[in-house]
C-alpha cells in the first residue's frame, strides 16, 4: 500500500467516524404501498425498454410506433407477443446492457425491476394465477 492509498483510507475512516458522531442514520425503509407502486412503475418502464431494445416498433401494426421509432403503444402486449420470436441470447444481452447502464445508487424497487428478464414479467403472472385459482393466498 503506498502513501496515497493510506491517506485516502484514513480520510474515509475520518469521514465515517464524523458521520457516526453526528448521528448519521440510515434512510427509513419504504412503506409497502410505496415500494409496490415504484416497482410497478419501473416494471412498465422496463417492458418499454425491452420493446425498444428488440426494435419491436419495426414490425408493429401501430403507425405511431413506426413513425416515432420506439414503442408508443401497449408495451406489455407487444413484448408478450414478440417473446417467442426473440432468441434467448438476445434477451440476455439486452438485460445485461440495461443493467450496465443502471446507476449504482438506484433504489431497491427499481433495481429489482431492472433485473427481470423479459419472460419474467409473464411467467410470474401465470404462477400467481395458478396459485390463486387453486385456492391459495
**What is the grid cell recorded at 68?**
416515432
Rg (CA), the chain: 21
Q: What is the pTM of this model?
A: 0.68
For residue 73, tell me if it sits in a domain: yes
Q: How many domains does the chain have?
A: 1
Residues of the chain with pLDDT under 50: 127, 129-133, 137
- Residue 97 is predicted with a pLDDT of 94
For residue 91, tell me if it sits in a domain: yes
For residue 122, tell me if it sits in a domain: yes
The number of residues in the chain equals: 137
Contacts by 33-40 with C-beta closer than 8 Å and gap 24+?
A: 35/108, 35/109, 36/109, 38/107, 38/109, 38/110, 39/109, 39/110, 39/112, 39/113
- Residue 124 is predicted with a pLDDT of 59
For residue 58, tell me if it sits in a domain: yes
For residue 26, tell me if it sits in a domain: no
Q: Which of the 8 DSSP states describes residue 57?
A: G
Rounded to the nearest angstrom, the gap between the alpha carbon of residue 44 and the centroid of all alpha carbons in its chain is 9
**What is the grid cell recorded at 93?**
444481452
- Residue 129 is predicted with a pLDDT of 47
Q: Which structural domain range is residue 91 located in?
A: 32-133
For residue 86, tell me if it sits in a domain: yes
Amino acid at each position: 500500500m503506498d502513501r496515497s492509498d493510506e491517506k485516502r483510507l484514513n480520510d474515509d475512516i475520518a469521514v465515517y467516524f464524523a458521520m457516526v458522531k453526528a448521528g448519521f442514520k440510515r434512510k427509513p425503509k419504504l412503506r409497502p404501498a410505496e415500494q409496490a407502486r415504484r416497482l410497478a412503475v419501473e416494471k412498465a418502464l422496463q417492458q418499454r425498454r425491452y420493446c425498444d431494445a428488440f426494435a419491436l416498433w419495426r414490425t408493429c401494426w401501430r403507425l405511431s410506433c413506426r413513425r416515432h421509432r420506439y414503442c408508443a403503444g401497449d408495451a406489455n402486449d407487444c413484448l408478450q407477443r414478440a417473446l417467442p420470436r426473440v432468441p434467448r441470447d438476445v434477451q440476455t444481452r439486452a438485460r445485461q446492457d440495461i443493467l450496465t447502464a443502471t446507476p449504482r445508487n438506484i433504489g431497491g424497487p427499481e433495481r429489482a425491476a431492472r433485473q427481470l428478464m423479459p419472460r419474467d414479467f409473464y411467467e410470474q403472472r401465470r404462477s400467481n394465477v395458478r396459485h390463486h385459482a387453486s385456492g391459495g393466498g
